[in-house]
Structure 1
């Protein structure tokens, strides 16, 4: 599953060598790495400012609510987690959950976000408990295609919700599908200057990775979008309400097209309101926040581990608890939840970050910019921020994402599309549940056996760990291994002695799914890196729809093997 996120941004550093790592808090480590960490932290902060503002506005929250988790994620979460080069901040996925929560819990008059803050706190408590009970590992067991479909659906929802601010108009729809159908009407009523800002911002986002000018590359694309947007705001005097003449058209402009930020940034933030804690809607929002934030955060953390040149590994349970504590504190002061964010983490690594101090520096730089550039932040056009989010949403649901899923087998593509459509039609939690159910039904259909037998295989995958001799171990798998019962296999794998020759024999397994094979290949890589030899056998006799090593494998037999 982490490969889903890595593919969007950077390729993992598979050639890195494991070296002895000094503790990040040691003076020698700080002295050795502070320059690289400082530069990386500054680069990340330049991205965090526009993204934090944009995510909050898109969520129906005060703009500062997106800056609090970015700043607190750097200043506090740095010391609670175990991840080395990850960056913490607000989540893409929670834009959708928060916007829904503000709508369903609100009483009118902008009170909805206060109730959502209370739901954030309860979600943080759930994360803290889940980490304490070592449930972080279960993030590995969600079907890969379902996670990919969830991210793609979130991307579609973000794009649709931000098309209207990018056009300088307002949506009147109550669902994503209605929003898609209303886009032509939105185009007809678009504000010409907002469209001009959007087009130029899109060009900056598209051309930034393609140019070779190093000075241009040093400043991230989202910050360039803000700079260009500010230039156009001053050029057209958008801060003052008036009619601007452009290419023969009279266009209304005014402060309603800019960020609405109070003069004193931290004043006026709402406080958590637990007045609806006894309602079903409150707990639906709280559990949605818990599920989406935990899945996105854990997947991002594992993806960042793949990017780390020193191949350091994160304690997922500790990071899950750290996200919970940080989310509780962020919500108490009016901020959104805090997770590991992959885009900023990849920027952090690509700019040479070595230790977790880069995350702390990013929080410090962000605070300096917020307090020092408050007047400029108030002049940022909403169209520029909307463009950044539309671009981010497109990355989650681009044609490349569809091609990547097809490359893994038509089954993965089918499950991906089923989850994507289910979320768009029914909502986030029901859509994920439908995606999981469809995955189970597809596995059953592929085996061609009665459902009773299929379910017996799921309940008892019949895994045996055998010692051939002192240095050779064999793991024989019969029945079936998929995301539902993978935890049983993982539990046994963790008992294997190191630096041995281990062979996992799948020749009698009826079905092995993508999630299982992804885990097994990652485990093999880690086992071999530690001086052992780990092989997977018996897969060649299985039927598969793709040459991808993780593709779904089904045994070519008319009846299930005896157990």
Structure 2
């Protein structure tokens, strides 16, 4: 972004901010409901995530707000503190503490943690989120809104799971909601495939805005029609206060008299760790989606998220993270700089303060059609083919991450994908520990050369031991360690033990190192003790 002129890309950022607003609004409310928190708490987190975090963050296209990944933690914490009536103010203290800890994380430069996650896991996370968005929006698309939109776990807060909810939809289809959803989806597809290429007006006015406006018009025109009308439970629902005092009465404030409670500190620490991890993963995923491939400063991102969480907790909001659903919607809608995130935050603020009645006329099924497109762009079928062609070492962690997200939840999916990725690394390390081949036969002995890799650890013990034991009698072994920069003591002990066996099996050893050549070294342990350290 041009720091001297933050409005340079406004013609791209403004339409994108509208799309992000329409995606974020129901998610903020749905995540609040799934978290067992007041509806306004989700909106507050969305506003601060957009305006405050957006301004402080170094991410140009990331969008922050309340996260589905924290919903289970928030729900359990509020319940343990006494429920929404008696324990919410206590929970807000934990949110503030979590924000302070995140700021400390940023100062200590913990942002590097996100770079330790394999690319296959990050791609699996994006694809899994895309699939879960599609699956979760199918019921809403047909007007079955029993489960809140922010509930992205497989086992839902209404007692159903992702697939049973879809099956239940057949019995609760709302004709009106379905009709306007189909119209909205057709508009979005037409806009993306055809109209956006026809003129600047179709780039300035985005398809989601047109779909939402038509949804409001459809609701007003069919209002009162028992068959094709849309009933209130299928509409967006933001609080509508009667006056300014009633509006202020919706806010909650932390009860700092509970700051000495160890459970509050434990909850704050959990929020800080989980929110930071989810943010760092989303940052890496968002950077991969960014057409300009800009790199977000991760330590600054932790500082921004911590600042946002402190402020959110102080005025009654939910914990905040960078969120891939909103971020990907921003990128796919043409957002160029952080102004789109900031503007979407102001739109949320205006919506709840000035026009809540109009917002409450938007059919949820239309918003579902917008999210279906977002989900499809994240989980394109061609990506599965690309990952499969990359080999099993990429494909397996990718698929495990997806399945974990779809059948458990986001954090479990990432954890399982990372675990499998580590196992793959260990297998690769095992396979690449050495190179063994028979060069020729001379003087009646097999001449075999074994070259050790740059780093050989105890993980490679099995592979090396197996190959050494397979060497036949009367063998001439050439062991090359010139490229080896780290040799674990476990491997040195294996070589030491093998040198004893070699004498009994008439195996001669020629050790080649950067120090020269040694025939049948008397002690590998002494040799490598004297070997100069290399970098």
What TM-score does the superposition give when structure 2 sets the normalisation length?
0.65
1:445 corresponds to: 427
The 5-angstrom pairing of residues 104-503 of structure 1 reads 105-106=78-79, 120-171=95-146, 175=155, 178-212=161-195, 213=198, 214-237=200-223, 244-246=226-228, 253-264=230-241, 268-271=250-253, 278=263, 287-301=273-287, 304=290, 307=292, 314-336=296-318, 337-339=320-322, 342-343=327-328, 345-346=330-331, 350=334, 360-361=342-343, 363-364=345-346, 367-368=349-350, 371-448=353-430, 478-479=454-455
State the aligned residue count. 417
Report if aligned partners of 1:88, 1:359 keep a CA contact under 8 Å in 2: yes
2: CA distance, partners of 1:361 / 1:183: 35
Unaligned runs of 5+ in 2: 148-152, 242-246, 435-451, 458-481, 487-533
2: CA distance, partners of 1:439 / 1:180: 28
2: CA distance, partners of 1:116 / 1:405: 42
When structure 1 is superposed on structure 2, of 329-338 and 202-211 the one drifting more is 329-338
1:52 corresponds to: 24
2: CA distance, partners of 1:386 / 1:146: 27
Name the SS for the 1:157 alignment partner.
helix
**Given the superposition, is the C-alpha separation of residues 282 and 131 from structure 1 closer, same or farther in structure 2, using an over 3 Å criterion?**
closer
User: How far apart are residue 478 of structure 1 and its match?
Assistant: 1.0
2: CA distance, partners of 1:160 / 1:104: 28
Report if aligned partners of 2:78, 2:84 keep a CA contact under 8 Å in 1: no
1:7 corresponds to: none
When structure 1 is superposed on structure 2, of 65-74 and 286-295 the one drifting more is 65-74
User: How far apart are residue 56 of structure 1 and its match?
Assistant: 1.4
1:95 corresponds to: 68
What TM-score does the superposition give when structure 1 sets the normalisation length?
0.62
Name the SS for the 2:371 alignment partner.
helix
2: CA distance, partners of 1:78 / 1:174: 30
1:264-316 deviations in Å (ceiling 9; x for gaps): 36652455579897288886566433321232135425754x617xx6x5432
User: How far apart are residue 193 of structure 1 and its match?
Assistant: 1.2
Report if aligned partners of 1:38, 1:361 keep a CA contact under 8 Å in 2: no
1: CA distance, partners of 2:308 / 2:425: 39
1: CA distance, partners of 2:379 / 2:456: 31
Name the SS for the 2:455 alignment partner.
strand
Name the SS for the 2:227 alignment partner.
strand
2: CA distance, partners of 1:48 / 1:426: 26
Q: Give RMSD over aligned pairs.
A: 4.1
2: CA distance, partners of 1:345 / 1:174: 26
Name the SS for the 1:189 alignment partner.
coil
- Larger-gyration structure (1/2): 2
Report if aligned partners of 2:21, 2:347 keep a CA contact under 8 Å in 1: no
User: How far apart are residue 325 of structure 1 and its match?
Assistant: 0.8
**Given the superposition, is the C-alpha separation of residues 110 and 380 from structure 1 closer, same or farther in structure 2, using an over 3 Å criterion?**
farther
Report if aligned partners of 2:239, 2:352 keep a CA contact under 8 Å in 1: no
1:465 corresponds to: none
1:74-128 deviations in Å (ceiling 9; x for gaps): 5433543334x4353326xx22432664377547986698777566444433432
1:223-255 deviations in Å (ceiling 9; x for gaps): 222112111111211xxxx55235xxxx7x422
2:465 corresponds to: none
1:142-197 deviations in Å (ceiling 9; x for gaps): 11222222333333433333332322224589716832134223123211112112
